[in-house]
Amino acid sequence: MKKPRSFVILFTILMMGLAFAAADILIVKIQATQLRKSPQFFAQTLGALKAGDKLEKMSESNGWIQVKNAAGVVGWVHTSAVEPPKFDLLAINRDMKTQATAGEVSLAGKGFNKQMGFDKQVEDSYRAKHGEANFAGVDRLLLIKITLAQVEDFLKKGRLGEFRGVQ
């Protein structure tokens, strides 16, 4: 009795895998990037993308992936900006619980309700213990913003990258 049941479960998982793989979904893994008209950084941009955005993969060429965003716009993203959807088995575990305990409800109310990672909450806890670490300096460093237009101009004036030989 036990064997057939495990077979059904595994079969369901495999079939759903097949269905999902066919869709070929990618997730944006960096804070912000652009959907581009052609597979190069200095191409015309078609729209902003942010961490967690879902994209449908259409084709791949030389480190670039052609994708369709949720609005149906087709464009290109660099492979380093996206990844396949990750396991979130912890979230599944949560779903499996039919009832949250009183303690869990209480913690959720305090904001302790997400899957743990090394994130802002851990950083805040670390900062509270390590006054010597210069996070204000890091925040100032991260305020330095260089736009792609500035990089393009710099490359052109220095006859670099794809602008070599162009004057």
Partner 1 sequence: MKTKKTWALGFLISGSVIFLVSCSAIQEAAGVLSSAANVSGEAATVLQVGQKLRSTFADITEEEEYYIGRSVAALILSKYPVYNNDGLTQYINLIGNAVAVYSDRPEIYAGYHFQILDTEEVNALAAPGGMIFLTKGLLRRCQDEEMLGLILAHEIGHVSAKHGLQSIKKSRLVDAFTFLGTEALERFGPQGLTKLTTVFEGVLSDIVEQLVERGYDRKYEYEADGLAVKFAAKTGFEPDGILRFLKTMVGDSSIAAGKGWFKTHPSPEERIDNLNKEIAGLDMAPKLDAARTERFRQSISTLK
| Distance in Å, CB of 89 to partner 1, minimum | 5
| Distance in Å, CB of 166 to partner 1, minimum | 11
| Distance in Å, CB of 73 to partner 1, minimum | 19
**Spatial contact of 82 and 91, defined as CB atoms under 8 Å apart:** no
> Which residues, 6+ apart, have CB-to-CB distance to 108 below 8 Å?
100
Q: Which of 30, 43, 46, 74 binds partner 1 (CB under 8 A)?
A: 30
- Give the DSSP H/E element, type plus range, for residue 30: none
Q: Is residue 29 part of the contact set for partner 1 (CB under 8 A)?
A: yes
Near partner 1 in 111-150, by CB under 8 A = 112-123, 125-126, 129, 132-135, 137-138, 140-142, 144, 146, 150
Q: Looking at the chain, which runs of residues are DSSP E strands? A: 25-28, 32-36, 45-50, 54-61, 64-68, 74-78, 82-83
Q: Is residue 20 part of the contact set for partner 1 (CB under 8 A)?
A: yes
| Distance in Å, CB of 4 to partner 1, minimum | 11
**Spatial contact of 113 and 94, defined as CB atoms under 8 Å apart:** no
| Distance in Å, CB of 70 to partner 1, minimum | 17
Near partner 1 in 69-98, by CB under 8 A = 78, 80-81, 83-96, 98
Q: Is residue 1 part of the contact set for partner 1 (CB under 8 A)?
A: no
> Which residues, 6+ apart, have CB-to-CB distance to 47 below 8 Å?
34, 35, 69, 71, 73, 75
**Spatial contact of 20 and 87, defined as CB atoms under 8 Å apart:** no
